[in-house]
Amino acid sequence: VDAHAPFEPEPGALVQFADPSLPAIVVEYRAALLGLDSVVRSLHSQLGELGYDATNTLFVMVSDHGEGLEFPETHGKAHGRFLFPTSVGAVWLMSGPGIPAGLKVGGVASQVDVLPTLLGLAEVDGYRGPGLDLSRRIRMGATDTQRAMAFTDTWFINVNRAAVYTSERSCQRDFDPRREADKLNRFREGCFDRRTDPQHTTPLPNSEIEAQLLLWRKDRQAEYASAEAQNAAPGDHVEGQLEALGYLD
């Protein structure tokens, strides 16, 4: 929660990240993340003192999203409405048995890969849910996930959007032609070159990847329609927690 607005970083961290070329909110966000890093470091250190270390314990840190911070402006101020990498890019760090120290695995991954990968590293069989088990590639020191695509979408407060990422491209579509939730029309449809255009400013044609996105979204739409038909409700307690985090009006 400390990485959510309003940011309240330590003064020393603000000084460390001070940069007149950056918007103040970007500096505050980076400083807030530094505070989060220090807390995770403390947890990791104290677990080690208790005997829980890389020889016997899987230590995992995963973030659920980033923030647009209007940096650039087209990426939106926060998260939830936009699918640019500033919002949907996440951190996935691990240490433990079978995980080579210092290994960086490139390519794309999805949050649905976390659970099957952890079960694979823990040698737990029988998982039949979504996601890819990347444990074998991690153990062998592979530098690429070899996942062809990773999908993401949002219905956050009347927004209706989806995106697909590959190692080289990202494509996104707005499925609500009215775009009522984005009066500034900052959302940009199309495909983007992730390597030469990291801020996703210049759309490129890429019909094959977009076609995959449309097929995936069609399946997702059916899933949501089924869930709505069941009148699923989170309950007062969960709704209170979601409201406290800013996920409900």
Nearest-angstrom CA–CA distance, 179 and 8: 33
- Which residue is associated with the tokens 């069609």? 218
Residue 155 is predicted with a pLDDT of 86
Nearest-angstrom CA–CA distance, 113 and 183: 35
Contacts of 183 (CB under 8 A, 6+ apart): none
pTM of the model as a whole: 0.84
**Rounded to a whole number, what is the largest CA-CA distance in the chain?**
57
Residue 7 is classified by DSSP as P
| Cβ atoms of 67 and 86 closer than 8 Å | yes
Nearest-angstrom CA–CA distance, 81 and 65: 12
169 bridge partner residues: 193
Size of the chain, expressed as the number of residues it contains: 249
Distances (CA, A) of 166 to 62, 107, 108, 147, 157: 20, 8, 6, 8, 27
- pLDDT mean by block of 10 residues, the chain; 249 residues: 84 92 94 92 96 96 91 86 90 94 95 96 93 96 95 87 94 79 67 90 86 91 73 77 75
